[in-house]
Amino acid sequence: MTSRLTALTFLARDPAKLVAFWSSALDWRPHSEKHGVTLVPTDGTRFPIIFELSSEDKRSQNRNHLDLTTSSVEDHSATVQRLVDLGAMHADVGQGPHEAHVVLADPEGNELCIIEPDNAFLADCERLGAINCDGTKETGYFWSDVLGWPLIWDQNDETVIRDPDGTGPKITWSGPPLLPKSGHNRLQLTITPSEGLATHEEVERLIDLGATHTALGASEGVLIMLDPDGNEFRVIVRP
């Protein structure tokens, strides 16, 4: 029995503003709900992005960011320009001058990468190519076990998992050293225990795999836990 990845939760000071930006970036459809705004996939991705109001400012470089694919040289340059026009800024995260991808920051400073069209690693991915995480291989193993997704890359401390049916983004962990963590992660994986699995049973399994409890509060029906690298993730509590 495993959990399902049912959302990516995105903390924002101004959710509506970020929804407009990321809707254009991903070509996903916004949908208003009781507790915020959700971006609904229009491609093969099987989970939405939920934008949740947060009073906490972004303090440092995010440990997690999104990689967006492009289909041509023209699409690459047009995507960069469109997002800059929507409020993105070019960002320096230590990339070299000859890197083919472009690093931007969204209107609240969250980093993202616009990947070059001839990138082989993400060639079979949709627009949302990867959730790129700064983390150890132990955390990659942890998430492989949590979701039941196979490791499709496990070399030199770098790990990658993907849904077994080959749809949706890859989730990657780049290995040490880890970025310092300051405040809550802006991007948090949200999981739901499989049908027939009680929440307390899944929490016990998560702890056995290396997760820990946290005193952090969340919206009703959501439990926040920490993965082996101390990154927040969310567990939907069954009624």
Whether the CB-CB separation of 47 and 41 falls below 8 Å is answered with yes
Q: The tokens of 2 are what? A: 């495993």
User: How many domains would you assign to the chain?
Assistant: 1
Q: How confident is the model at residue 36 (pLDDT cuts 50, 70, 90)?
A: confident
Task: List, in sequence order, every residue forming a beta bridge with 140; answer none if it has no partner.
Answer: none
The C-alpha atoms of residue 200 and residue 73 are separated, in whole angstroms, by 49
Alpha-carbon gap, residue 163 to 121, rounded angstroms: 15
Instruction: Give the Cα separation of 189 and 195 in Å (integer).
Output: 19
Whether 228 and 215 have beta carbons less than 8 Å apart is answered as: no
The string of pLDDT tens digits covering residues 159-217 is 999 999 999 999 999 999 999 988 899 999 999 999 888 888 999 999 999 999 987 65
| Residue 94 neighbours by CB under 8 Å, 6+ apart | none
Q: Give the model confidence (pLDDT) of 71-85 as tens digits.
A: 999 999 999 999 999
Q: Is the pLDDT of residue 1 over 90?
A: no
Place of tokens 């503003």: 17
pTM over 0.85, yes/no: yes
Per-residue model confidence (pLDDT) at position 206: 97
Domain that holds residue 89: 3-236
Supply the CATH number for residue 21's domain. Answer: 3.10.180.10
Q: Are 171 and 161 in contact (CB under 8 A)?
A: yes
